[in-house]
Amino acid sequence: MKIRSVYKQNKKNIPISDLDCGFDKTHSLRIRKFINTFCYPRIYGLLMPKFVYEQALGLRKLNKSFYFVWRCLQKIFYFWPRPFSVINWAQGGRDGCKPADFMEIDDETIQTMALVGNIIHSKDYSIIDFGCNCGRHLALLWQIGYRNLFGVDAMKEGISEFSRIYPDVYAGSEIYHDTFEHFLSRSARRSFDVIFSWSATIELVHPSFNIVKEICRVARYQVILVLNEGSQGYTRFWIYEFNRNGFDLSYALRPIGKGRDNTTSLCCFRRRSLNNTQS
């Protein structure tokens, strides 16, 4: 599979290496990418007792005193893990964090998921959607013939909506209510053939957790990501991080949407050990 780069607005080819340069954005964005990639100690696992994860996900009542101390530590130490940032997503009550915000399926989404379906090497592959929420992307994969589907999301209300809107897909899939950090940490090596995620998901994970390394540990063959390469969340040098963990960029469409300010890309990474055996 050849690497491709498409810039729809002006029909201009852009070098693949520029994927990590922020779409002609300012040097401040490149500095942020550098800091998020290289300057955070990966200490999440060392500082994350089980009860903190349970409070953040809503499985245990929030201890306000402990929460206050933890927030103070975040302000003092830039590298301090931020597990409680998932609270708004878990509760699903704030604008931009409600199930209704993740239900729409427009033509662009349909076309992109059809492309994702073509990129995946086999209909038999196990595919997990990180940030599945109401299940719209899994439902589209289901429609084009994929059946070995999984999903994980922190928003319990979104998962409930998934079971209501797409009952057949939900019943035929395995869905987990969990944070990305906790789910990946307890997943076995190469548990899923393909890991997929759609924008505003892994970009929001604090760099104290080495999410790219964990994704590459859990993925057997491919990692397919719709990434916001602009200023959203903790943007980083994605291609470098995946290369460092044994995955090469095999396909890229940049950007996938319309509009001059669109900074969303579709990137497919493939395990390097497969390059000599699959085309």
Please, what's the largest Cα pairwise distance for the chain? 55
Helix pair 50-57, 64-76: axis angle to 10 deg: 100
Residue where the block lists tokens 């080495």 = 210
- What is the Cα–Cα distance from 223 to 99, expressed in whole angstroms? 25
- pLDDT confidence of 14, banded at 50, 70, 90? very low
What confidence score (pLDDT) does residue 255 get? Answer: 78
User: What average pLDDT does the segment 37-56 reach?
Assistant: 89
- For the cut 80, the answer to whether the pLDDT of residue 11 exceeds it is no
Architecture of the CATH domain 16-21+105-274: 3-Layer(aba) Sandwich (3.40)
- Show me where the domains of the chain are located: 16-21+105-274
- For the cut 90, the answer to whether the pLDDT of residue 147 exceeds it is yes
pLDDT above 70 coverage of the chain, percent? 86
- What is the Cα–Cα distance from 196 to 113, expressed in whole angstroms? 11
Reported in sequence order, the residue ranges of the chain that DSSP labels E, i.e. its strands, are 127-130, 149-153, 174-177, 192-198, 219-228, 247-253, 264-271
